[in-house]
Amino acid sequence: MLKDKNILIGITGGIAAYKICGLIRLFKKNGANVKVTATPNALNFVTELTLSTLSQEQIYTEQFNTKDRKPEHIALCDWADVFVIAPASANTIGKIANGLCDNLLTSLACAFQKQLFVAPAMNTGMYNNIAVQKNIETLKITGVKIIEPDTGFLACGTNGVGRLAEIDRIYKCIEDYFQQNSVLKGKKIVVTAGGTKENIDPVRYIGNYSSGKMGTAIADAAAAYGADVTLIKTFPLNRSYRTVDVKSAQEMFHAVSDEFLQKNADILVMTAAVADYKPEICENLKIKKENNDELTIKLVKNPDILQEMCKKKNASQQIIGFCAESNNLLEYAKEKIQKKGCDYLIANDISSKDTGFSSDYNEVYVIDKNLKTTKIDKDTKQNIAMKIMELLYGKN
């Protein structure tokens, strides 16, 4: 699984830094290419000569020490398939969680758009500190994989949580990632995300509260599973995979038709909250308030993108719909999957304050065409998306 993979290792200042020598050897032994970036404090615990000898590469510590005029934090990001920060100190975790870039390693973490792994290692008191736990939670929400520390004897002479995860466990996490990354290799997946906006006039529109977070998480998960992803979205977002910007339901309909039907994609995931209705007439000029106490706008139906795609898809194509309800969730979801004709429907309750629109968390039910229902308990939207991929397509 690791043969010819490019693995970037980031080492921060902590006594566990010496253990990473074993991780480098393990990666190299199994065919991976390894490059190492280290903070200045990390080199107090393990020498640059040792790291360069084991990796058979130069060690990167300076952000702008480059001969080809391409800053190291960009060149290394382009090169690496994954970035593993181990050990990750409380200081570095805090910087990454808050977007601080005061050295090469933190700049790399900020610029890296592929999978980032962080293996914390520190004193128990530091690890349990509320601020540190908040920073770790922030990283989880943004899609960073946290390799949880072990409990055991620490360098400070105490026993507790904070010990760097065993090297074999860190290695297994990376190996599992690459194995997972091959599951949907060669498959084209189209994902829609965000809420559509239907113009009333040049300054007003009808919209909804969808943030696009769940759809983005689904697209990220599909990419992590090795798929060729196209994300059709209604909001600004930068990703390494292809994205298409739309605004209205009609624009999304045309984009989905092109990307899924015309280009014959394998899977369509309709996560977007598409407006059911739009103003019959969109005024060219701003509607003036005048002295009217009422304004009547006639609404007409938008195309039902999910239903239309289900009608037009071929036998080899698969469609996954999403259903957001504020009551009678499963009843309405089961009615919807039968009416629309999709292969799977993901249902979530938007009335819940901690899992509704704009939340970083979700709780969903996955329903198949035979109405078999599987619940995925509350988790971050990133983890929910990965669990959906695992449930539908497996690990192997």
**pLDDT tens-digit readout, 25-40:** 999 999 999 999 999 9
Nearest residue to 112 via CA among 66, 59, 72: 72
**8 A C-beta contact, residue 68 and residue 47:** no
Q: Does the pLDDT of residue 66 top 70, yes or no? A: no
Range of the structural domain that residue 318 is part of: 188-393
Long-range contacts of 359-362 (CB under 8 A, 24+ apart): 359/213, 360/141, 360/213, 362/214
Do 268 and 127 have their domain in common? Answer: no
One domain, residues 174 and 212: no
Task: Please check whether residues 167 and 203 belong to one and the same domain.
Answer: no
Contacts of 11 (CB under 8 A, 6+ apart): 17, 20, 36, 37, 38, 39, 42, 46, 51, 85, 86, 87, 105
Asked whether the beta carbons of 364 and 376 are under 8 A apart, the reply is yes
- Is 156 annotated in the active site? yes
Domain endpoint, select from 150, 180, 210 = 180
**At residue 290, does pLDDT exceed 80?**
no
- CATH number of residue 266's parent domain: 3.40.50.10300
Q: Which of 145, 180, 215 is the last residue of a domain?
A: 180
Tell me which DSSP letter residue 261 carries: I
- Domain with 173 in it: what CATH number? 3.40.50.1950
**152 lies in some domain:** yes
Do 64 and 125 belong to one domain? yes
Residue 339 maps to a domain: yes
Can you read off the two tokens belonging to residue 209? 């509260």
Encode pLDDT of 185-229 as tens digits: 899 999 999 999 999 999 999 999 999 999 999 999 999 898 999
DSSP string for residues in 161-212? EEEPPPHHHHHHHHHHHHHHTTTTTT-EEEEEESB--EESSSS-EE-----S
Q: Same structural domain for residues 328 and 345?
A: yes
In whole angstroms, give the CA distance from residue 292 to residue 326.
34
Instruction: Give pLDDT, residue 154.
Output: 83
Domain match, 73 and 159 both: yes
Instruction: Write down how long the chain is.
Output: 396
What Cα–Cα distance (Å) separates residue 348 from each residue in 11, 208, 211, 315, 390?
A: 40, 16, 14, 27, 18
**359 and 282 share one domain:** yes
Q: How many CB atoms neighbour CB 118 within 10 A?
A: 24
Q: How many domains does the chain have?
A: 2
Q: Are residues 119 and 207 in the same domain?
A: no
* Whether residue 36 is found in the same domain as residue 138: yes
Any domain includes 373: yes
Same-domain status, 127 and 39: yes
Catalytic, out of 110, 156, 173, 323: 156
Look at 48-52, 138-142, 194-198, 303-307 and tell me which has the smallest mean pLDDT: 138-142
Quick: pLDDT tens for 114-163.
999 999 999 999 999 999 999 999 998 888 999 999 998 888 788 889 99
129 inside domain = yes
Q: How far apart are the first and last CA of the chain?
A: 12
For residues 135 and 211, membership in a common domain is answered with no
Q: What is the DSSP letter of 273?
A: B
Where does a domain end: 180, 200, 216?
Answer: 180
The answer as to whether 1 is a domain residue is no
Do 193 and 154 reside in the same domain of the chain?
no
In a domain, 381, yes or no: yes
Distance CA 93, CA 139 (A): 8
